[in-house]
Each structure stands twice: as C-alpha cells, then as structure tokens.
C-alpha cells in the first residue's frame, strides 16, 4: 500500500519499475538521483535499502547485481479538483507479466576515509563514493572505510583495504565491528564480552586486546565485506 512508503520511496520504485518494463535494464544511480532530485547517490542507496527491507525490491544472490521488483504499491493518481465528483471509468487492468530483472553489477556507497584514532565516524562524512560489487553487500545501509595499520592482518584485513561496513549499533561476540571508544577513537576490531567488560581484540599477535567499560564503547557498524585494489 502507498501508506507504507515515503513519497521518495514510492517515486523510486515506480521509476525503477517503469525503466525495467521499458528497457529491461534498471536506471543508473545517477539517473535515479536526478529523477528524484536528490543531492547525492548515497540517498538513492538508502532508498533502495529501505524498499528492500519493506519487501518491494529484492537482490538476487546468484547474480552479481540483480534487482527484482517484487511488488508495486498502489499508484495514487490525483484527480483535477473540478472533476473530483464526476464518475470515472475504472481503467482496464493489464495482464500480469513477469517483471524484468536488471543485471547491473555495481552499487555506490559513501566512502568516509581512513579509519584513524581521534576521528569519530560521524566526522568522516564526505561526498566521496566507492563503487562496490553488490554481491559483497546484503540488506541495510552501508558505508566504506579505508583501513589504516596492521592490527587486523591475521583476519586478512590489510593496510589500504576498503572495509565495507553495515550500519548497526549492536554486535554479537566474535563479529568484526567499527567501535567508537570514548566518543573519540574509531577502531576496527573483533567484539567480545568479558564479564562486565567489553573486549576489542586485534587480529595480530603483536597487539594486546583492549578492555573497556560498556559505556565507553559505541558500535558504529559491522564488517560486511572487504575490497582490495592491486596496483
């Protein structure tokens, strides 16, 4: 139903559906941004994630980038005021048909820079975007951070890699998270609970675990994937 979606979400699902029906290929993020008059492509990504969570869009895991329109909201057409009381014939219903699937293989997510001591994630906001194979991402809102240092090398995370992070403020034991310590230092570590304390474990035997009171640590997201560029 239309009431389930915001106006922008409704506009986007209709735009994607119409483009798929016309060409069999979904519009680019730039086209979607311009069609909806958004300021950035990250806004498009957030809308797509919201539509996916509400069951209107689906990403197919067996293809690198496949968007499927699962269902459509009701299209509420506004009647002219003068004709509001005039009887209107119901439009003929088109026969049901399968909705085409787009095979785009890349999505753009915000790139917030290098994860470094003394810089909260909120301070890393920028207009930079990183093109990422959609197969590396699941549902939800994502951002990318450039890894600095060697504290996670034994987990295969190297200096200069791009960590793909799903935004969340909760974590389970053993997950790799972006943790903000004392609202000052952002770090990428394994998250564990140890009695009444929170322990942040590096993946490098040269470094010691870090222990904090729970109110000292805020989860900023958890690792969803890793991107490496070879030079």
Q: Tell me the catalytic residues.
A: 151, 189
Q: Please list, in sequence order, all residues whose beta carbon lies within 8 angstroms of the beta carbon of residue 212, skipping any fewer than 6 positions away.
A: 181, 197, 198, 199, 200
For tokens 């590096």, the residue is 202
Q: Distance between the two ends of the chain, CA-based, in angstroms?
A: 49
Q: How many CA atoms lie within 13 A of 9 on its CB side?
A: 22
Q: How far is residue 91 from each of residues 21, 83, 163, 180, measured CA to CA in Å?
A: 19, 16, 50, 55
H or E element at residue 39? none
CA dihedral sign, ordered 208, 175, 181, 163 = positive
Phi/psi at 95 (nearest 5 deg)? -60, 145
CA dihedral sign, ordered 47, 109, 38, 13 = negative
Cβ atoms of 184 and 118 within 8 Å: the answer is yes
Q: How many CA atoms lie within 13 A of 212 on its CB side?
A: 17
């Amino acid at each position: 139903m239309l009431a389930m979606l915001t106006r922008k979400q409704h506009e986007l699902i209709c735009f994607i559906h119409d483009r798929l029906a016309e060409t069999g290929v979904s519009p680019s993020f730039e086209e979607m941004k311009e069609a909806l008059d958004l300021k950035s492509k990250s806004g498009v990504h957030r809308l797509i994630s919201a539509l996916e969570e509400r069951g209107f869009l689906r990403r197919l895991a067996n293809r690198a980038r496949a968007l499927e329109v699962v269902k459509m909201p009701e299209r509420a057409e506004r009647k002219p005021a003068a004709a509001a009381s005039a009887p209107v014939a119901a439009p003929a219903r088109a026969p049901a048909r399968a909705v085409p699937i787009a095979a785009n293989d890349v999505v753009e997510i915000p790139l917030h820079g290098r994860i470094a001591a003394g810089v909260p994630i909120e301070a890393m906001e920028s207009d930079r975007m990183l093109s990422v194979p959609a197969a590396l991402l699941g549902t939800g809102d994502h951002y990318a951070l450039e890894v600095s240092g060697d504290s996670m090398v034994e987990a295969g995370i190297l200096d200069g890699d791009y960590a793909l992070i799903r935004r969340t403020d909760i974590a389970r034991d053993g997950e790799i998270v972006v943790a903000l310590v004392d609202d000052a230092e952002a770090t990428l570590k394994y998250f564990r609970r140890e009695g009444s304390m929170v322990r942040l474990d590096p993946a490098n035997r040269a470094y010691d675990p870090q222990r904090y009171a729970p109110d000292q640590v805020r989860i900023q997201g958890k690792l969803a994937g890793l991107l490496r560029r070879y030079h």
